[in-house]
Structure 1
């Protein structure tokens, strides 16, 4: 229903008409909690929380595909709602599958140096690859300009210093990518196989807590889907 960027809480607009009123409910709750709302995405934009990842002080990552559209991204860029100098838009143009409806079903940031990603989408020859457009805030015009267009996602991640831990098809379908970083290298994971792969990765020095989330994964979600940050550092 919302994302929280370095600018604050941004209320989304859900792609499913049946769920549209959920955003109204969250706006009511945030108002009751005296939490400031930075913006709300207007039609025809659609923005859902599973497509957004903060990636440090300089970079935001946002997926565009089945649920979040380019109109929402354009609105956020024009209103400086990401709050970072760089914004990477990860486009799902070749897969568009309900099993991978959000970016957090195929990708997740574990630490500033490590991430997990669905193995089959990696590489420029993949038939289900994701491609990246990067926008950079111009210091003179104070507008975002597209500096990278159509770069393959894993190449972009590696260029930005990430070691990618691949997640197999079976584990992706069991929400192996849908983990949650709760700070200081501590990760909540719902898939045992992926959790073991992470801790066995050379130079990974975080900690993994395996959580039984089967009641939630049965409803098409996991720990990242079921959480929401309401405040980020400036």
Structure 2
């Protein structure tokens, strides 16, 4: 019997895990090197993944993530249902502000962006739909971490906090105070913590039982608007999305 963690499925997933935003296209030898598996094994697994549509092989011989995998991923209920109900309000927020609008959920000790609408002429951001990011630096991350279970907060705050800019808060004691402020004020502010030209303001989205299931944010150019002027708009949008999530699903 195959040992746990070394089944065909787990090895295939290791192949898929080799692809990242920085490595969207890989050769056979590169995948073998990144996964530590023999070339012959990788070649056999790649053939199966390509046949199913999880990967595609281009004319240059490099492998890329296939549309079939994207189609399956889009069925994830937490992302799909949330995105569908939130999208009209995200679009309204984008049209009103012409700024970057983001929607994210927590996955373990990281966040995952489930939607992003880029504003016309807005400040560039590092996020993209489906990408993961630290909970400690962004507006949406601070909201999600502030409302995460205590054990998740402790795990995040005990680990080294990644620094993105000189403004990134990495001190656990200061982060704890920030999280308490998020819970009391109902919104989070990330000022130049990810890039030196961006300010993010975020608010929590609740489900029908009152639990925080997501966070919505605006990312604007630093100095273009005070955070407290944006907070009421974010909280209004978050409440609208929360009401939409609380509505029964129509069949």
Question: What is the TM-score normalised by the length of structure 2?
Answer: 0.27
Q: TM-score, normalised by structure 1?
A: 0.28
Larger proportion of strand: 1
Larger proportion of helix: 2
Q: Which has the higher contact order (CA 8 A, sep 6+)?
A: 1
- The structure that has the greater radius of gyration is 2
